[in-house]
Amino acid sequence: MRLFLLPALLIATTAWSQSVDQWVQWGDAALQRNDRYGASRFYAEGLALEPGRMELQWKYAEACRLSNQYDKAAEMYEKVVRKDLDRTHPEALRWLAEMQMCNGNYDDAIRSWEKLRKREQGKGGNDALRAENGLQGCRFAKDVLRAPDASITVEHLASPVNTYDSEFGGRTDSTGNLYFSSLRGDLNDNEEVADTNTYHVSVWMAAAKADVWDAPAPLPAIINNDQDNANSAWSPDRRWFYFTRCATGRPCTIHASPWDGATFGAPEPVEGLAEEGRSCTQPMVALLNGRAALFYASDRTGGEGGMDIWVAEIAGTRIMNPRPLGPAVNSPGNETCPYFDSGSRTLYYSSDFLPGMGGYDIFTAKLSPGGYEPPINVGPPLNSPANDLYPAFNDRTGVGLLTSNRVGSLAKKGATCCNDLYRWRVPRTITPAVVPATPEEALALKRITSLREKLPVRLYFHNDEPDPRSWDTTTTLTYGQTYTAYKDRLPEYHEAWRNDPSGTKAIDAFFRDRVDMGFAQLLDLIGLLKQAMEEGQRIKLVVRGFASPLSKTDYNKNLSLRRISSLRNHLRTVDRGSLAPYLDGTAKNGGRLVIEPAPYGEVRSATGVSDQLSDLQNSVYSVQASMERRIEIEQADLITAGSGSPKAEVTAIDLGLLTEGTARTVRFPITNTGDRPLKLVSSKADCGCTTAALPEEAIAPGATAEVEVTFNGRAPAGALERHITITTDGDPASLVLTITGSIVGHK
C-alpha cells in the first residue's frame, strides 16, 4: 500500500473497437498496478459502448475518485446511488457527498450528507460520525469562504520545482535547502512513460538561492534506489536523514541514513515503528521537551482507525515508546503528514475525517501541559475543496510549505489530477525587547514572565455547570466546588460509554490529563500570584470562555461568565481569603489583581462537536464535547501606572414610588478621567433583584459609557436602597452605584 501521492500513469487507448468486457479487464488490470488514471480511461471506453451498466459506472467512479477526477466521480456516484438504492454499493452515498465537497458544491453535499445521516441514525458506525463532520465541514466552508484570511498569502512554486507530474512533501533544512518528493519520468511522443521500470517516486533537493531555489536534482542512488522513496526529514542535529521506502508489494517503512556533512551512509530501517503487514511513513523529527521525537503516520493497531499520527523518542535508528497521539488528534478516518513546530509547540497535520472543506484538510493542535488541544481547521487560503497535505511551518519566520492538488496546480489530466508544492506566508511583527528602567520594573517584568510561562491554564466543567438552566452571569460557587462535583460525575460518563471500552478509556484519560491537570496548574499559578501580590504587583488576568454548542450563543456567553465568576470566587476564598484585598483594590501595599473576562459561546468552539440533544453520548459525554466546556486563563498583563480612572457622574438615582413587582431600568454615566483605556470588569449587587449590564469595550480616555442597572421590582413594601459594586482595572478599583426609592404594595 502506497501512502504518498501518486498520479496515474499515462496510457494510450487502442484505436480499434473492443468489447465492453475487454475494456473492463484492462481497467481492472490498471487498478491492480495502481494506475488509477489509466483505469478510468479504460472504464470510460467501456461506458461509451454501454453507458447504462451500473457495475461499470461504479468502477469508473472509483477510478476517478482515486485519481482525483472529482467532477466525473460525483457524476458516476450519483447514478449508482439512484440505481442501486444502497443494495450493492451502500458506500456510494458517502463518496458522492465527499466528491461534491471536493468540487466545492457544498449545497449538494449537504443534501447528500443529510441522507447519509438519516440512513445511519442509531447505528453508531463511522459513517454516521463522518456525516455529522461532513455537514459541519460544509457549513464551515461556506462561512469561511465569505471572508478568507487575506493576511495569509499562498504562492505556487514555479517550474522547475513543480512539474506536470506530482511533487509533494516539501521540507526545508536548517540552511534553507528544499527537499521534496517527486514522481517524474521521461515521456515519449504519445505522452506515455518511456520506461516504467524506472518510474518511481524519488527524493529531490533544490539548493537555496535568495528567496527561491536552484533547479532540483535527485538525491544519490543510495537513497533513491529502484523502489519508491519519499518523505524526507532531518534530525535536529543534522546527523541523520529519515525517509520512507516502499518496496513493491510490501508496506512502507521508515529508513534512516547517517550523514557526515558530505555523504549519505547506507540506509537502515527504523525497527519497532509498525507491526508486520502495517505501514509507517511520513517521518518528521523535532525537539520535544529537549529530546528528538519522531512523528509519523501509521495504520498499526492501537490507533483510532485508518492512518493515525504516532510519536516516539528516537536516536539514530533506535526508537523508544512509540505511541499514538490519541483521540484529541486522531479520528476513525485518516490523519497523515505530521509536522511539529517546537517553538510554538504546535502540531500541523492533515485529516480526511474531521470537519473540513473537502478531501484532506490541514489542522493544527497545540501541545499544552495537559496534552493536545482540540484540532483547529486552518481554513482558506491554506485549505481548499481539494486535498491539502504536508503542512510545514516555521512560527518564527512565518513561512510554511504545503502540498495540494487544488485548481491552479500544473495538470494535464484534469484540473485536480496532480500535486504541487506551495509556499505560504503569515505576516510577522517584531516587537522590541522591553528594557526595565528601574529595579522595580525589572522585578515586575520577572514576575509577569513567570506567570506567562504557566499559561494557558484550562479549567473544565460539566455540561451547563455551574447553575444549570440559568441566565445569570455570576455564581456563588467556587471553581474548586465545581471541580469536585465534576469529578463525582465520572461514573455517569462511564455509563454513557459502557458499550465502548475505547470511549471509557478516552474519558479516563481526559479527566486525568485535562481536568486534574488543569486544577493542579491553577494551584501552581495561585502560588505565583500570591508572591506577586505580596510584592505589590498590579496584574490583570484575561480569561476566555468556551462552551459546547448545545445552546444558543447568548446563553453560552452567560454560561461562560458564570464559569469565570467561579474562578474569581475561588481566588477570593483560597488560602483564607489572602487574595481578596487585591481583587477588591483595597490592599495597603497597592497590589492589584484584576480578572477580565473575554467570553464566547459556540462561535469559538472547535468544529466536530455534536449539537444534537438526541445524541448525548457525543454532545455531552464525549471527549471532544468535554474539551469545549472550559475557561482559559490565557493572558497575564501588568496594569501600567497611570491607567484609566473612573468617575461616576451620578452615583445615586432615586426611582421614586414603585409598585411592587414593577421593573425599572436606569443608566449611570461613567467617565474615564485617566490617560489610558479603562475596563469595567465586573459587577456585584447586594441582592439578586438588581443586575448591571456593563459596556463590553474599554472606555477611552476622556470618554463616557453607561452602566445599565435594572431593578426587577421584587422587594417588600417600604423604603428601597440597593448597591451595585463595579470593579474596574484602574484606580479606584471599584465604584459603588446606588438606587433608592419606595415600594408601594398592590391595593
Architecture of domain 20-144: Alpha Horseshoe (1.25)
Q: State the CB neighbour count (10 A cutoff) for residue 119.
A: 15
Across the chain, mean pLDDT equals 86
Closest CA to 172 of 202, 209, 200, 225: 209
Instruction: Please state whether the predicted TM-score (pTM) of the whole model is above 0.85.
Output: no
Q: What number is the average pLDDT over the span 689-703?
A: 87
Strand partners, 196: none
At residue 195, the pLDDT reads 47
Which tens digit of pLDDT belongs to each residue from 550-575? 555 678 888 998 999 999 999 999 99
Which tens digit of pLDDT belongs to each residue from 472-488? 888 999 999 999 999 99
At residue 449, the pLDDT reads 85
Architecture of domain 646-744: Sandwich (2.60)
C-alpha grid cell, residue 238: 543534522
- Asked whether the CA dihedral 303, 511, 475, 451 is positive or negative, the reply is negative
Strands 166-172 and 178-183, by their bridges, are antiparallel
At residue 633, the pLDDT reads 93
Spatial contact of 394 and 385, defined as CB atoms under 8 Å apart: no
The DSSP call for residue 374 is P
Which tens digit of pLDDT belongs to each residue from 171-182? 999 889 999 999
Q: Residue 148: CB partners within 8 Å, gap ≥ 6?
A: 379, 380, 381
Residue 79: phi, psi to the nearest 5?
Answer: -65, -40
Query: Where are the chain's structural domains?
Result: 20-144, 153-425, 439-638, 646-744
Q: Residue 382: CB partners within 8 Å, gap ≥ 6?
A: 152, 154, 362, 388, 391, 402, 424
Q: State the CB neighbour count (10 A cutoff) for residue 309.
A: 28
Asked whether the predicted pLDDT for residue 9 surpasses 50, the reply is no
**Of the ranges 312-326, 346-360, 537-551, which one carries the lowest mean pLDDT score?**
537-551
Confidence of residue 185 (pLDDT cuts 50, 70, 90): low
Asked whether the predicted pLDDT for residue 396 surpasses 90, the reply is no
At residue 462, the pLDDT reads 94
Q: Residue 416: CB partners within 8 Å, gap ≥ 6?
A: 68, 69, 70, 102, 386, 405, 406, 407, 409
At residue 602, the pLDDT reads 41
Cell 514576575: give the residue. Answer: 447
Asked whether the predicted pLDDT for residue 747 surpasses 70, the reply is no
Asked whether the predicted pLDDT for residue 527 surpasses 50, the reply is yes
Q: What number is the average pLDDT over the span 20-44?
A: 91
Confidence of residue 642 (pLDDT cuts 50, 70, 90): low
Helix (H, G, I), strand (E, B) or coil at 1: coil
The DSSP H or E segment spanning 153 is: strand 153-156
Q: How far apart are CA 240 and CA 233, in angstroms?
A: 9
At residue 325, the pLDDT reads 94
Which tens digit of pLDDT belongs to each residue from 235-293? 999 999 999 999 888 899 999 999 998 999 999 999 888 788 899 999 999 998 888 99
Which tens digit of pLDDT belongs to each residue from 61-116? 999 999 999 999 999 999 999 999 989 999 999 999 999 999 999 999 999 999 99
Confidence of residue 122 (pLDDT cuts 50, 70, 90): confident
At residue 643, the pLDDT reads 64
Residue 551: phi, psi to the nearest 5?
Answer: -120, 175
Range 153-425 classified under CATH 1.20.1630.10: no
At residue 606, the pLDDT reads 45
Q: What number is the average pLDDT over the span 423-447?
A: 79
